[in-house]
Amino acid sequence: MGSPAKVGKKAAPPTKTAPPAYLDQSQLDLSGLNLVNKEVSKAEEAPKMSFAHDKLLEEVRKSLDAQRKGKQALSLVVIGHVDAGKSTLMGRLLYELGRMDERTRAANERNSTKAGKSSFSWAWSLDGTSEERERGITMDVALESFSTTKRQITVLDAPGHKEFIPNMISGASRADCALLVVDASTGEFESGFERGGQTREHLVLARSLGVAQVIVAINKLDQVQWGKNRYEEICALLRPFLTQSGFHSAKTSFIPIGAMLGVNLVACEGEDAKQLLEWYQGPTLVDLLDKLEPPSRDITAPARIPVSNIFKGQGSGISVSGRVLSGVVQVGERLRILPGDETAVVKSIEVEEENVPWVAAGSNAILALVSVDSVQLTIGSVLCPPANPVPLALTFTARILIFDLQVPIIAGAMVELFHHSRDVPASVSKLIATLDRASGKVVKSNPRVLGKASSAEVQITIRSTGSSTRPIPLEPYAANKAMGRILIRREGETIAAGIVMEVLG
C-alpha cells in the first residue's frame, strides 16, 4: 500500500465512512441532491502537480521499497456474525496498543454506563453514531488505524447484522485481509455458523471480493471457562468451511482471545489469562497481525478509485473517500468522474489522518476535490485519469459461482448487482453456458436454469431506475482484478459472486 512521507496534519478527520443508505442529511445533500454550491466549488484554486508521471512512479517505488524494510501497510476488514465482539475487540486492541488514551476509555465507560449499555463500553468509540450506540450494533463501516512492530494497519470494522450486508461488502472491497471474529459462547457460535448466519456469509463475501488471508479470532472464551475443547471444536467446524470457501490453509490462522478482558490481544498474561495459559502458548493476535502479507500492488495500471463516501470538505470543497485500487494519484492531478462527463482536480490527499502529496494502489484515502460540479459525483462513482477512463457498462458478460439458492436462476431473473460501494438493480439477461467448476470449461451451452453450487457464464444487464438507466463503471477482471469483481444478491441473500469477462456496451 503506498503513501509517502506525511506533509502535514489533517484538518478534519472523518473516521466513519457511511454507505448510501445510512448517510446523514448533509451527506445526502452532497451525494444525491446536488445542493452543493457549484459556483464556489468551481472557483476554488486548483493546485499544480509536483511530479511528471514517470518521476512520480519512481518516488512511489522508492517509498514502497523503504516500506518493505520498515512497516508494510495493509488494510484489514473485521467481519463476523452480529454481536461476535468485533467492535469490542477493536476498541480494546486500540487501547492496548496505545491508540486510545485512558481519558477516552474512561469517557466511553462513563457514557456507555449512563446510556445503560455498559457492556458496549469498548465498542463505544467505533460504534460512533447515536443510533448505533442505542441499538448496540454497528451499522456502517468504521475506519481506524494502528501499527504493530512490522505493519501499519488500516482497520475497517464492518457491521455484523444481516440488514447491513451492503455496508459490509463496501468495507470488504476495500480490504487486503480479514479478521473473522466468532463468539465461542454455548449456542452462539452455532447460530452464527448455521445457514443464514453471517459467519458463513461474511467469509464467502470476503473471499469473493479478493480477500485471501484470514485470521479467525475465537472470542468470548471467558464465557466457556477458556475451554480448550470448545476452542478446538470451533476450529474443527470452521476449517473445512474455510477451505471450501477458497481460503488456503497456509493463509488461515486461528487464535483464542477474550476481547473484553484484553486477553491474548497484545499479551497473554495476568490473572485473566491464567486459564488460557494452562493450554495455550501460541502467538498473540498482534503476533499474527504482524505476519499478514500485503498483496502486490499494481501501481503502473491506470488509477481507479471507487468512491465509498462523499462529504463536505473544508471550506467550500468536496471530499471523497475510497480505496485506490490501482495506479497512483497526486495533488494537482485532474481526474475524470465516471459515470458522467465531469472532472475534478485533487486539492489535497489524506491518508491515515495525515496530508500527503500522492497516494498509490492499496491505500484508503480521502481526496479533497476542487473544480468539480458535484452533480455527477455519487457513491460508487469511479475516479480515473481522463486519458484512461474506466469502461461504462449497461450490459456485460460474467463468470459466476452460484451459492446456496432457494429458487434457481432463469434468464431474466431480477437481481441486485454489487460492485464496490454501488448496488444497482440488474437482471441475468442471458444464460450463456454452465461451466465445469474446476476447469472452467463449457459443460452446456444455453442452459435453461442455473442451480445451486453451479458455475456459469451469464450476461448481466443493468435495469432502469425510474426514468433512466445509468451505466456503471466496471472493468473486465483480466484488465483490473479489483474492478472486475461482482456480487449478485436477491431478496437479501447473496446468491452468486463472479468476475467480469467482457463489457458489451
- For ligand GTP, give the closer residue by CB, 79 or 305: 79
C-alpha cell at 280: 495455550
Spatial distance between the Cα atoms of 260 and 71, rounded to a whole number of angstroms: 28
Instruction: Report residue 274 as a C-alpha cell.
Output: 491464567
134 membership: H or E segment, kind and range: helix 130-135
Count of chain residues binding ligand GTP (CB under 6 A): 24
Piece in contact with ligand GTP (CB under 6 A), picked from 108-116, 254-262, 420-428, 496-504 = 254-262
The residue (of 47 and 279) whose beta carbon lies closer to ligand GTP is: 279
Closest to ligand GTP by CB, 117 vs 481, is 117
Q: Judged by CB under 6 A, does residue 83 bind ligand GTP?
A: yes
Are 3 and 363 spatial neighbours (Cβ–Cβ below 8 Å)?
yes
H helix count then E strand count, the chain: 12, 28
Nearer to ligand GTP, 138 or 364 (CB): 138
- Choosing from 41, 72, 87, 459, the residue that interacts with ligand GTP (CB under 6 A) is 87
Closest to 340 (Cα-Cα) out of 445, 452, 468: 468
Question: CB of residue 158 vs ligand GTP: minimum separation in angstroms?
Answer: 7
Residue 392 has, within 13 A of its CA and on its CB side, a CA count of 15
- Does 138 interact with ligand GTP (rule: CB under 6 A)? yes
User: Rounded to an integer, what distance in angstroms lies between the CA atom of residue 391 and that of residue 339?
Assistant: 9
Q: Which is nearer to ligand GTP, 161 or 430 (CB)?
A: 161
DSSP secondary structure letter of residue 45:
P
Closest CA to 325 of 368, 379, 382, 374: 382
Smallest distance from the beta carbon of 105 to ligand GTP, in angstroms? Answer: 14
Amino acid at 123: A
Site for ligand GTP (CB under 6 A): which residue of 59, 144, 176, 222?
A: 222
Which residue of the chain is nearest ligand GTP when measured via CB? 160
Q: Which is nearer to ligand GTP, 83 or 144 (CB)?
A: 83
- The CA radius of gyration of the chain, in Å to the nearest whole number, is 23
Residue 92 Cβ vs ligand GTP, minimum distance, rounded to whole Å: 8
CA distance 467 to 68: 51
Cβ neighbours of residue 359 under 8 Å, at least 6 residues apart? 2, 3, 324, 328, 329, 330, 349, 351, 365, 367
Choices 214-222, 353-361, 467-475, 476-484; region in contact with ligand GTP by CB under 6 A: 214-222
Site string for ligand GTP, 113-132 (x = CB under 6 A): ------xx--x---------
Nearer Cβ to ligand GTP (109/502): 109
Does residue number 137 form part of the binding site for ligand GTP (CB under 6 A)?
yes
82 binds ligand GTP (CB under 6 A): yes
Q: Which window, 158-166, 343-351, 366-374, 446-454, contacts ligand GTP (CB under 6 A)?
A: 158-166
Is residue 170 a contact residue for ligand GTP (CB under 6 A)? no
Among 260, 365, 383, 482, binds ligand GTP (CB under 6 A): 260
Q: For residue 160, state whether it binds ligand GTP (rule: CB under 6 A).
A: yes
Ranges within 52-81 binding ligand GTP (CB under 6 A): 80
DSSP string, 430-464: EEEEEE-TTT--EEEES-SEE-TT-EEEEEEEEPP
Nine cell digits for residue 502: 467482457
Determine if 258 is a binding residue for ligand GTP (CB under 6 A): yes
DSSP helix/strand/coil, 399: strand
Angle, alpha carbons 302-20-382 (nearest 5°): 10
Across-strand partners of 329?
Answer: 359
Q: Does 188 bind ligand GTP (CB under 6 A)?
A: no
Work out which of 42, 133, 161, 251 binds ligand GTP, going by CB under 6 A: 161
> Is 330 a binder of ligand GTP (CB under 6 A)?
no
Q: Is 202 in the site for ligand GTP (CB under 6 A)?
A: no
Among 26, 55, 3, 18, residue whose Cα is nearest residue 313: 26
By the criterion CB under 6 A, which residues form the site for ligand GTP?
Answer: 80, 82-88, 119-120, 123, 136-138, 159-161, 219-220, 222-223, 258-260
